[in-house]
Homo-oligomer: A and B are copies of this chain.
Amino acid sequence: MPQVSDLTSFQMKVVLLGSGNVATHLAAALKDAGNEILQVWSRNSVNAELLASRLNSSSTAHFSALSPEADIYILAVSDDAIPELAGKFPFRNKLLVHTSGTTDMEALKNASTKIGVLYPLQTFSKSKSLDFAQTPIALEANSPEGLKILEMLVGKISRKVMELNSQQRRALHIAAVFACNFGNHLYTLSKEILRQNSLEFDLIRPLIIETASKVQLIEPEDAQTGPAVRGDYITIDRHLEFLQNDKDLRNLYELFTESIISKHR
């Protein structure tokens, strides 16, 4: 996969369209790296003002009032809002990018002649600050010039910048959903099993860290343990019997067990 590195960053003028988690974290990192956040737009004028004041920026709640002076316009909104807002973008020749893992770059093609994507791969929580240097950022643009601008913009805030096409970016997003969103839900289910038997989630916490730490050094298929990979059908049957009154847990147990057995056959 193509890696981009050692780029000199210049100060750029950025207009931020959005005021959610991604917009907030990204704007702060871009400003810290010396760029100018020219303007913040949000549908909600209070949110726009709030974020703008933290960025020494101006704000607006109207696309018609967007500044035409920026080098790049970053549309950091939820996926379902992208088509509508792209349709209202007023500048045909300004670089417009979205920040979605799952939306094709082409969703912007009627908005401007210069389009792209800037997708930071992380689980953003508003309350928690984030080390952007370790956050992979996937870029895409419809021209070499657009890509160059994106590389210059984020080259200073992340050490893991790469060019990915829309298909690869979607794969990356789905891989993160499996490993992290679904992984976290397994923790929730685990806690529920413990709670129903008067046991505390604290008992499992060290094992969770150990499991995630292991695959930092070795491959996950080599780290697999448990009854399924051992082919221990006595234990599997006892577990399914234990789970007999919870159809969801039983279905997940069966599906995982089959998947582990077929992967390690």
Instruction: Give residues in A with beta carbon < 8 Å to B.
Output: 1, 78-80, 102-103, 121-125, 134-136, 160, 164, 167-168, 170-191, 193-194, 196-201, 203-216, 219-221, 223-230, 232, 234-235, 238-239, 242-243, 248-249, 251-253, 255-256, 258-260, 262-263
Given contacts A172-B203, A175-B194, A194-B172, whether A181 and B224 have CB atoms under 8 Å apart is yes
The 8 closest A-B pairs by CB, nearest first: A181-B226, A212-B212, A187-B220, A171-B197, A179-B190, A175-B190, A188-B220, A175-B193
Alpha-carbon separation in the docked complex, A239 to B79 (Å): 13
Query: Cβ of A125 and Cβ of B205 under 8 Å apart?
Result: no
Q: Chain A contact residues: over half helix, strand or loop, or mixed?
A: helix
Given contacts A176-B190, A263-B185, whether A79 and B235 have CB atoms under 8 Å apart is yes
Query: Cβ of B201 and Cβ of A205 under 8 Å apart?
Result: no
- Return A173 CB to nearest CB of chain B, in Å: 8
Q: Which residue of chain B is the closest to A216 with respect to CB atoms?
A: B205
Residue of A125, A211, A223 contacting most chain B CB atoms (<10 Å): A211
User: Which residues of B have CB within 8 Å of A125?
Assistant: 225
Give the contacting residue for A190; candidates B134, B178, B196; CB below 8 A: B178
Q: Which residue of chain B is the closest to A227 with respect to CB atoms?
A: B177
Query: Cβ of A182 and Cβ of B186 under 8 Å apart?
Result: yes
Alpha-carbon separation in the docked complex, A255 to B250 (Å): 11
20 contacts between A and B (CB under 8 A): A1-B200, A80-B232, A102-B234, A136-B203, A171-B196, A172-B203, A175-B203, A177-B226, A178-B189, A178-B249, A181-B224, A181-B225, A181-B260, A183-B187, A185-B263, A188-B221, A188-B224, A188-B263, A252-B255, A252-B256
Alpha-carbon separation in the docked complex, A230 to B262 (Å): 32
Given contacts A178-B189, A179-B186, A208-B215, whether A248 and B242 have CB atoms under 8 Å apart is no
Q: Which residue of chain B is the closest to A21 with respect to CB atoms?
A: B225
Alpha-carbon separation in the docked complex, A172 to B262 (Å): 26
Query: Cβ of A175 and Cβ of B199 under 8 Å apart?
Result: yes
Query: Cβ of A184 and Cβ of B170 under 8 Å apart?
Result: no
Query: Cβ of A211 and Cβ of B211 under 8 Å apart?
Result: no
User: Which residues of B have CB within 8 Å of A181?
Assistant: 224-229, 256, 260
